[in-house]
Amino acid sequence: MQFQSDYFNSYHNLKLTRDNKGVLIAEFHTNGGPFIMTAQSHTEFVDAFYRISQDRANKIVILTGAGGDFITDVAWSSFGDVADPGVWSQVHDEGVQVLENIANIRVPVIAAIEGRAHVHSDYALLASVIVAADGATFQ
């Protein structure tokens, strides 16, 4: 079996850990706390979820967030001028690619939502199983 865990430390806002049974935890975070989406992370997630989907050592994937939340907000200023059609086109294309790459994960995906899933709750909704705490909120 080929292990492709060389990508685990490649992303600023996605902590990837896998146990010896192949359970991969993908934890969204900003400096270890609740995650705020940035342009950099939006771009990186295209590659991250592609590589997760291609890694045959992954047997189950758990999507979750740090600090009691999933994805809480967007740092819009990091994207530049989103009124510019060229900028928005890139944001749109990346968004589509991330969703396609999550949908192409060929093992069970579990979304574990504890708090706010106020941005890209669609990531969680693509999961095979969604486990939400009593206080979880989706937008």
Q: Give the tens place of pLDDT for each residue, 41-91.
A: 999 999 999 999 999 999 999 999 999 899 989 999 999 998 999 999 999
Whole-angstrom CA distances from 24 to 32, 46, 91 are 18, 17, 27
pLDDT at 126: 95
pLDDT band at residue 2 using 50, 70 and 90 as cut-offs: very low
pLDDT band at residue 5 using 50, 70 and 90 as cut-offs: confident
pTM value is 0.91
Three-class SS of residue 119?
Answer: coil
In this structure, what are the phi and psi dihedrals at residue 109, rounded to the nearest 5 degrees? -115, 130
Tokens of 122: 């669609």
